[in-house]
Amino acid sequence: MAKSAKEQIYCKACKYPLPPNALFCPGCGPPHLPDDIDVERLSTSQAILRIVLVVILFSIVVVYKYDLKFFDNLLSTLFSTVNARKETTSLDSRQENAKVVYIVDKPQANVRESASMNGKVLVVLEKGQEVLVLQKKDSWSQIKVGNKIGWIYSKLLIAKVE
């Protein structure tokens, strides 16, 4: 409903007539800004803690969103290091009873002719398959599977003490 040009508009607070296109009431004056607002100041340690928590939360969201295997890799690396340390102490104390078994930890793992990604693939192993490790060289392990001997990337295996 359009207002006519002659219709007068009044201030809702003081009922003073408002001039056309007025931004504020001449009777009330411009709106007052609040006095000094009490702002809670953070200490440096509180600010750092909040920043760290935001970064951690952001990292978790990114890892979840992009389905990164960061935590799987981190945990498998940590546990393989812990297991390797446990293997040496366990085998020293119970050497005749202990046996280290290596198991393929990924859905598929290539066994290669040489300790290199360029080596010819001899056989593909499935997750959970046990292998006998003959020796280790850098990040590769020489294994025996059935009657074949080849090389597999060591991070594709997990060690288990039985």
Residue spans of the chain under pLDDT 50: 1, 90-91
Structure tokens at 135: 């020796």
CB 121 within 8 A of CB 112: yes
* CA 101 – CA 97 distance, rounded (Å): 13
Q: Read off the pTM.
A: 0.41
pLDDT at 75: 65
pLDDT at 5: 57
* CA 118 – CA 35 distance, rounded (Å): 72
CB 125 within 8 A of CB 152: yes
pLDDT at 1: 42
The secondary structure of residue 19, as a DSSP letter, is P
pLDDT at 92: 53
Give me the CATH code for the 70-161 domain, please.
2.30.30.40
pLDDT at 50: 94
Cα 96–chain centre separation: 41
Question: Which candidate, 158, 152, 159, 77, places its Cα nearest to that of 109?
Answer: 152
- Model confidence pLDDT, tens digit, residues 115-136: 888 889 889 999 988 888 889 8
Place of tokens 């090389």: 151
